[in-house]
């Protein structure tokens, strides 16, 4: 299984902890606000907003919260002005990292993210220092018990998916970003359970870590994802699945 899939699947299993801290709602509200500011408040005419609203509904966000976030983005209601920032750098063992954040205070965010990298054995790099190693893809992970390979392959081929692979306990479907929603909808229509479904950045090569270095890398990933301004963390980190479960349990 790719390093991305192992880490992302565990993140989704731990998602309830984020929900209790209210972080999922906070991040979704920021995304809705920015999407509305950049592309207007009509989800039908704004693909980014449409995706953000769908994600918010999937997390059972109240409709009033969604409406207010859109209105703050369009300027109909007052609110904070958010800025998107992307960081690139390296973690323990030379693992490549991309961190996407949304903040209302750029200087604070830069200082805190830099400190988080340094505290956990990493360091920030220059723009485009590692981005060339990553490609945007849609990824859908499905428990083996939820569907057989032949059924999934037919769905993937008909809906325009790029690849279906056996990743141990799960099937992993990869799509181009513009085909992701079509494939995801086909999976939903077939009433097939998923453990992860998102558009993300997947590395072309992975760096496998073991022992204390791997544990330190996990702590860096968790610290970055725990930051209030951070939306997404992508890495080319890989480790043994059993050890990853142990260090994140």
- Contact predicate 21/186, CB 8 Å: no
Q: Could you give the CA distance from residue 53 to residue 55 in angstroms, rounded to a whole number?
A: 5
pTM for the predicted model, two decimal places: 0.80
219 is written with which tokens? 């702590």
Mind spelling out the 3-state secondary structure of 39-93?
HCCCHHHCHHHHHHHHHHHHCCCCHHHHHHHHHHHHCCCCCCCCEEEEEEEECHH
pLDDT computed for residue 216 by the predictor: 94
Statement: residue 229 has pLDDT above 70: yes
Give tens-digit pLDDT for 68-95: 999 999 999 998 888 999 999 999 999 9
CA distance 21 to 26: 10
Q: Is domain 3-74 in CATH 1.10.10.200, yes or no?
A: yes
């Amino acid at each position: 299984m790719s390093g991305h899939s192992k880490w992302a699947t565990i993140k989704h299993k731990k998602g309830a902890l984020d929900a209790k801290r209210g972080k999922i709602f906070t991040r979704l509200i920021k995304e809705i606000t920015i999407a509305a500011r950049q592309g207007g408040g009509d989800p039908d005419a704004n693909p980014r907003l449409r995706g953000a609203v769908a994600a918010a509904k999937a997390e059972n966000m109240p409709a009033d919260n969604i409406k207010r976030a859109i209105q703050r983005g369009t300027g109909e209601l007052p609110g904070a002005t958010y800025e998107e920032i992307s960081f690139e750098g390296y973690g323990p063992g030379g693992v490549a990292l991309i961190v996407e954040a949304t903040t209302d205070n750029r200087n604070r965010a830069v200082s805190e993210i830099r400190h988080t990298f340094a505290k956990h054995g990493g360091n920030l790099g220059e723009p485009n220092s590692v981005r060339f190693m990553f490609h945007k893809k849609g990824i859908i992970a499905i428990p083996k018990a939820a569907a057989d390979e032949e059924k999934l392959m037919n769905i993937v081929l008909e809906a325009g998916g790029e690849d279906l692979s056996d990743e141990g306990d799960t099937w992993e479907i990869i799509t181009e970003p513009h085909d992701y929603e079509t494939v995801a909808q086909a999976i939903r229509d077939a009433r097939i359970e998923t453990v992860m479904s998102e558009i993300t950045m997947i590395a072309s090569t992975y760096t496998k870590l073991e022992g204390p270095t791997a544990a330190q890398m996990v702590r860096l990933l968790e610290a970055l994802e725990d930051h209030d301004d951070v939306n997404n963390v992508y890495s080319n980190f890989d480790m043994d699945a059993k050890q990853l479960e142990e260090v994140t349990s």
